[in-house]
Chains A and B, each alone.
Chain A
Amino acid sequence: MSARGTDPHAIDGKFPVPGQHYDLVVIGGGTSGTQAALKGAQTGLKVLLVDENPVPGHQVGNDVPWFFGGRATAAMQNSERMLETVFANMDHLEPLFDAGVEVQLGTCAWGVYRNGPLVGSLPSQVVGLADAEKSWLVGFDQLVLATGARDLPMAFPGWNQPGVMGAAALGKLLSLYDAFAGRRIVVVGSHELGLETALSAQTKGIEVAAILEVRDAPQADAAAVTAAGIPIRCRTWPVEAKGGLGGVEALVLSDGTTLACDSVVMAIGLVPMLELHDAANAARQFAPNRGGWVPVADSNITAVGNCAGLPDTGFDHVAYRQAWMEALGGACGGDTVICQCEEMTLADLTGVQPPRYLDRPPALQRRSLSTLLADGPPNQDQVKRLTRSGMGQCQGRRCRDQVAMILAAEAKCKLAEVPLATHRAPVRPLPLKVIADWEESEEMRAGWDVWMGIPTQWVPYADIGTPYEEENRRVLGGNMSL
């Protein structure tokens, strides 16, 4: 249209074409991602595969992307050594080099951007990548998400201290990083994830004090675990993790007994990592047998491996989680922390109360989750805005699934009816100086305005129609402030 471009402060033409473009970009260098990259390269595509391992040390402390629970050794802080270790432990990547796939380790994907509803300004669809120093965008025709699944932590008294961690994190620390700081663990959950976690830990020389199961029997074939001498205690769950400065030292169980341990490994479930998919506003569906919300492939973005959903063995992961939440939730007091980043307690959540730096006047104290639910259907983002649950550094990785389950229980609705709390780029926390575009286009720089750039908008009301209006326009040029 001929009149286009007459608004110098609109986004039009300000995003440059990305410097690099690939036919296929694969996010995640596990076995599924590697296969997808190899297949692409064999059909003649120009392929990039990135993997965020080794995860930077400061992310490990924030439990991003796995629930490390403070049980990574100091070796994780040595990025060069970690890169060597990870590279050695990812030998399945080797065929990629021969096939001509470009592989970048220590590189995370933090956003996917496409034109669609409300966005038409991108010159091509891009994925945002970053390493420890910088970020950049690459264009793609096809994107394969092979980001795996993340941990599903669940609160109980004392869970917010070092030593309570996730099964996926333990798996990475043992098999990828050689950097697990624990010696004696208790595994919570006895379906495949829990049993496999216990066995692989034992193989690595870790003592497994017990596997706990909330239901009446192990949830998968436990023959190997029993043969390995690992006790499984059914109808038994944690009621409190006790510890000292170094974190967990013992776990008190629902039957009144106590197990000495330095780590409690939550193996109740895994959640497909659909952050990138969801942040790109791509479709998803709820599949209880595959771990909850899972991505739906479209013409440009496909998920593979656990990112696409856990293997469907007929096991209802969602029902299993709810069984655990009922038991663990029964052990929680009002003062049990639910959101670790924001130190929000269960009482704060069910009371829809603000953080402690704000006063709680009487009218506010009369409000609660039940009054909020009387006003409308459950909405986790709304509860987040009011309580800050899931609003912190880890962006709800540790609490979002549990908060959604609590909302469903309070609203007496199915979990699938609680809208998924939104994921937003950057899906990995990235320092300002790293995510910053230090080489932005001249068009962006020249067209920048703090707000809309409409010359008449910021003219003081009393000045409208006076000579000051023209002066204002001349000096400020439509900017509230540059």
Chain B
Amino acid sequence: MSAQKVVVVGAGASGLSTAWWLARSGVEVTVLDKGVVGWEASGRNGGGCSHYQSPLFKEEQRLWPQMDELLGYPTEFSPERIVMAVTPRQLEQYTYIAQMNNRLGHRVDLLDAQQVREAVPLAGDNCLGGIHYRFGGHANPHRTVQAYAWAIQDLGGRIVQHSPVTGFRREGGKVTAVESTTATYECDAVAIAAGPQTGTLLAQLGIDLPLAAARAEMIVTEPAPMMKLGGVDGNGLYGRQTLRGNLAYGGGPHEWVEFGDLGPEVKPSTPLTRNLARRLAELFPNAAHLNVIRSWAGVIEMTPDGRPVIDRKDNVTFCTMSGVGFGLSPASGHAVSDLVLEGRCSFTDIDKLALSRFDGIGEGWKTQKGWLPL
């Protein structure tokens, strides 16, 4: 017996994609968010779509080239990536990543320094070589989250912003309604993909999902001349050249943080801006004269092993992507929607993402790992 009416908690990329897949299946779907669509990590990330480590990888790769058409709105998806080295150790490591991917059947080509410089005009004499992912790519997080939201509305779904969830109504072990500050929404099933708040929401349902939250930062420059391929990483940075030409890059140390149930009110950046700028100037010596025009920060949640949890208990399906949710969202939404409707993922094995792997982890895991706020 399939759910007819589903409430999705969290209008980030994972929750929105889930609702979009549900709406495509004819489900009456309502998305609740504490604030604005895509306002947290889903709208603050590097836009990468190349997660070879994930069981959702093949579905991610299948879907991204079609997303503009499927959603009806532009996502700025641009295919393929290059990772370029400016130190011998980086080159060694990137070469290992290339070999590993080729072993797994994901094509990655090795590039010598000259080949990198031809593909990446902003690279300089310090470039030692690189690797070229013949898959993956990048998209614009801002545009993509809004595209999901609009596509959901076009399919008859509802997005309720500024409506934090305050509780759940339960009958016979099942959630029958989701209570929020604006209204109570009855449902046959609920999907929770609320980023760092996923843990506290699940705790109200007696489900213990171990999560820690961290703050990470990015910077962006004024536009540079367009490169043929905008997804260029390396030198400890991830990021992309936007279709406007800006270089948007992040990386570096994170800060473990704590905040209230409604999420972080502010997302401050720090002088890490200067360390990011240094690495970007080293990566792209031909862009070192470009102005940095902005920095920002976002908050991501992490499970103890840094891998996602996608699982279901009774009629509650939940999803945390452990800080790599944006790029995988077309596929994670499909998987979560499958779990909501069928109880299992229809297109791949995700058993190792089950919550049970953390059974008995105990209270002190954050302390043991040093994942504590300062």
Give chain A's interface residues, CB within 8 Å of chain B. 1, 3-7, 9-12, 14-15, 111, 113, 116-122, 126, 128, 135, 137, 281, 342, 354-355, 357-359, 361-364, 367, 375-377, 379, 382, 385-386, 388, 392-393, 395, 424-426, 429-433, 435-438, 440, 444, 447-452, 454, 456-464, 468, 472, 475-476, 479-482
Q: Is the CB of A10 within 8 A of B256?
A: yes
* A462 CA to B348 CA, complexed, in Å: 12
Smallest beta-carbon distance B213→chain A, Å: 9
Smallest beta-carbon distance B267→chain A, Å: 7
Q: Is the CB of B369 within 8 A of A433?
A: no
Q: Is the CB of B161 within 8 A of A375?
A: yes
Q: Is the CB of A118 within 8 A of B222?
A: no
Within the complex, which residue of B143, B268, B371 is in contact with A119, where a contact is CB–CB below 8 Å?
B268
* A113 CA to B288 CA, complexed, in Å: 24
Q: Is the CB of B293 within 8 A of A6?
A: no
Q: List the B side residues contacting A364 at CB < 8 Å.
A: 72-74, 150
Q: Is the CB of A461 within 8 A of B268?
A: no
Q: Is the CB of B370 within 8 A of A6?
A: yes
Q: Is B32 an interface residue (CB 8 A)?
A: no
A sample of 17 inter-chain contacts (CB < 8 A) reads A7-B369, A11-B255, A11-B272, A116-B266, A117-B259, A121-B374, A354-B143, A363-B72, A376-B161, A386-B143, A426-B295, A429-B222, A447-B253, A450-B251, A456-B305, A459-B53, A481-B236
Q: List the B side residues contacting A452 at CB < 8 Å.
A: 214, 254, 302, 306, 323
* A435 CA to B272 CA, complexed, in Å: 11
Q: Beyond A386-B143, A452-B302, A461-B352: 5 further Cβ-contacts under 8 Å?
A: A363-B154, A424-B296, A432-B278, A436-B275, A457-B305
Q: List the B side residues contacting A281 at CB < 8 Å.
A: 266, 268
Which residue of chain B lies nearest to A342 when distances are taken between CB atoms in the complex?
B244
Smallest beta-carbon distance B362→chain A, Å: 14
Which residue of chain B lies nearest to A458 when distances are taken between CB atoms in the complex?
B53
Give chain A's interface secondary structure class.
loop
Q: Is the CB of A435 within 8 A of B323?
A: no
Q: List the A side residues contacting B143 at CB < 8 Å.
A: 354, 385-386
Q: Is the CB of B293 within 8 A of A393?
A: yes
Q: List the A side residues contacting B214 at CB < 8 Å.
A: 10, 452
Smallest beta-carbon distance B324→chain A, Å: 8
* A342 CA to B100 CA, complexed, in Å: 42
Q: List the A side residues contacting B275 at CB < 8 Å.
A: 436-437, 440, 444, 448
Q: List the B side residues contacting A440 at CB < 8 Å.
A: 274-275, 278
Which residue of chain B lies nearest to A386 when distances are taken between CB atoms in the complex?
B146
How many residue pairs link A and B with beta carbons under 8 A? The number is 265
The verdict on A135 contacting B256 (CB below 8 Å), with A117-B265, A448-B251, A452-B302 known, is no
Q: Is the CB of B271 within 8 A of A437?
A: yes
Q: Is the CB of A395 within 8 A of B293?
A: yes
Q: Is the CB of B274 within 8 A of A435?
A: yes
Q: List the B side residues contacting A6 at CB < 8 Å.
A: 368-370
Q: Is the CB of B374 within 8 A of A451?
A: no
Chain B positions 229 through 245: 1 when the CB is less than 8 Å from some CB of chain A, otherwise 0: 00001111110000110
Across the A-B interface, give the 5 residue pairs with the lowest CB-CB distance, nearest first.
A457-B306, A6-B370, A120-B374, A454-B306, A429-B291
Give chain B's interface residues, CB within 8 Å of chain A. 36-37, 43, 52-55, 57, 68, 72-74, 76, 83, 87, 89-90, 93-94, 96-97, 100, 104, 142-143, 146, 149-151, 153-154, 159, 161-162, 214-216, 221-222, 233-238, 243-244, 251-257, 259, 264-275, 277-281, 287-297, 299, 302, 305-307, 322-324, 352, 367-374
Which residue of chain B lies nearest to A16 when distances are taken between CB atoms in the complex?
B271
Smallest beta-carbon distance A190→chain B, Å: 35
- Most B CB within 10 A of own CB, among A5, A119, A122, A462: A119
Q: Is the CB of A375 within 8 A of B244?
A: no
Q: Is the CB of A432 within 8 A of B290?
A: yes
Smallest beta-carbon distance A388→chain B, Å: 7
Smallest beta-carbon distance B66→chain A, Å: 14
Within the complex, which residue of A11, A358, A436, A448 is in contact with B274, where a contact is CB–CB below 8 Å?
A436
Q: Is the CB of B287 within 8 A of A432?
A: yes
* A9 CA to B302 CA, complexed, in Å: 14
Within the complex, which residue of A7, A430, A464 is in contact with B292, where a contact is CB–CB below 8 Å?
A430
Q: List the B side residues contacting A392 at CB < 8 Å.
A: 222, 293
The verdict on A361 contacting B253 (CB below 8 Å), with A117-B265, A450-B236 known, is no
Smallest beta-carbon distance B373→chain A, Å: 6
Q: Is the CB of A118 within 8 A of B278?
A: no
Q: Is the CB of B271 within 8 A of A128?
A: yes
Within the complex, which residue of A121, A359, A363 is in contact with B270, where a contact is CB–CB below 8 Å?
A121
Q: Is the CB of A3 within 8 A of B372?
A: yes
Q: List the A side residues contacting B289 at CB < 8 Å.
A: 431-433
Within the complex, which residue of A118, A379, A395, A459 is in contact with B266, where a contact is CB–CB below 8 Å?
A118
Q: Is the CB of A460 within 8 A of B90?
A: no
Which residue of chain A lies nearest to B368 when distances are taken between CB atoms in the complex?
A3
Q: List the B side residues contacting A128 at CB < 8 Å.
A: 271, 274
Smallest beta-carbon distance A300→chain B, Å: 15
* A15 CA to B256 CA, complexed, in Å: 15
Within the complex, which residue of A355, A376, A426, A437 is in contact with B244, where a contact is CB–CB below 8 Å?
A355
Q: Is the CB of A379 within 8 A of B36?
A: yes
Q: List the A side residues contacting B280 at CB < 8 Å.
A: 432
Q: List the B side residues contacting A111 at CB < 8 Å.
A: 271, 273
Q: List the A side residues contacting B277 at CB < 8 Å.
A: 432-433, 435-437
Q: List the A side residues contacting B238 at CB < 8 Å.
A: 450-451, 480-481
Q: List the B side residues contacting A438 at CB < 8 Å.
A: 278
Smallest beta-carbon distance B284→chain A, Å: 8
* A367 CA to B253 CA, complexed, in Å: 39
* A296 CA to B97 CA, complexed, in Å: 51
Q: Is the CB of B281 within 8 A of A117?
A: no
Which residue of chain B lies nearest to A115 when distances are taken between CB atoms in the complex?
B374
